[in-house]
Amino acid sequence: MTIAAPKRRFPSLFLSHGSPMTALEAHETGPFWQQLGRTLDARHGRPEAILIVSAHTAARQPVLLAGPRHEAIYDFGGFDPRLRSLRYDAPGAPSLAREVQALTAKAGLTVHSLPQGGLDHGIWVPLRAMYPDADVPVLPLAFVPSQSPSQQFALGEAIQSLSETHGALIMGSGSLTHNLSLVFAGGQMPPIDAHELPASATFRAWWEARSRVRDWEALLDYRQQAPHALEMHPTDEHLLPWFVAAGAEGRLHAPRRIHSALTYGSLGMDAYAFGPGADSLAQALASDKC
């Protein structure tokens, strides 16, 4: 009798993707994404697929983009035209989509599936740095931005087994702080390395501190409890993918910040890892920098 080898187990991740210009002006975060891909490869091997929830792919009900192939979508305007020459042609993951639908149905959640592809900039910009050969199948999951952090967490919980059973890397992509009216307050974007606004620093520090002690009650109710929550997130679609990624690993382990960075004075570029492998991943990333 042949016994199937166990799948690799990846910690789930949340990446702040920032401006599309990160694809051309890497700043601190582009090199981190490259390092993250190398470190995951060294520790876990190449993922068999990536399920990703991006702030820029949303719907009225959860929808999987289960096409057989993907291309980069240029869902932005007013940026350097060179961005539109960058490609990310990745395979899709239709078979994983069927498994996601089965798991979510067991949890009492309805998730639809469409046989179409397309990767918004919150997906292809970081993946182009992490896996530049575009050789990992990608399954975008459009989330419902009107649903609460608790509902997003429950969506993540429903797909918790994907990493262990299917070797999938579960990711959320957004921004830890995201208020474009602050970014463009002077009429144009400030320097990428502009000094951080105090409200942004306070919010990011609060988030890391509450994560470190697993204060899920405060995190899930962040709009009431976090300092400067509404200023940092007038709408919270860029933070909600954090909760999907967190739910995919549950409440037992503390979320771990694995990258701390900022652009344009108030656009947080922090990254988090979740689950039992989060601490060791953080240690490996820190060791690789030394």
Domains, in order of start, for the chain: 12-177+242-260+271-289 (3.40.830.10)
Question: CB neighbours of 204 closer than 8 A, spacing ≥ 6?
Answer: 176, 177, 260, 262, 268, 270
Q: Please compute the mean of the pLDDT values over residues 259-283 and round it to a whole number.
A: 97
Q: How far apart are CA 103 and CA 166, in angstroms?
A: 12
For residue 230, what pLDDT is reported?
A: 98
Q: Which residues contact 77 (CB under 8 A, 6 or more apart)?
A: none
Q: What pLDDT is stored for residue 290 in this prediction?
A: 60
Q: Percentage helix, strand, coil, to 5, in the chain?
A: 40, 15, 45
pLDDT value for 145: 97
3-state secondary structure of 91: strand
As a whole number, mean pLDDT of residues 129-142 equals 98
**Does the predicted TM-score (pTM) go above 0.75?**
yes
The answer to whether residue 185 scores a pLDDT higher than 90 is: no
Mean pLDDT of the region 150-167: 96
What is the CB neighbour count within 10 angstroms for residue 22? 23
The pLDDT score that the predictor gives to residue 264 is 95
Share of the chain above pLDDT 70, in %: 97
The yes-or-no verdict on residue 2 having pLDDT over 60 is no
pLDDT digits (tens, 9 = 90+) for 68-124: 999 999 999 989 999 999 999 999 999 999 999 999 999 999 999 999 999 999 999
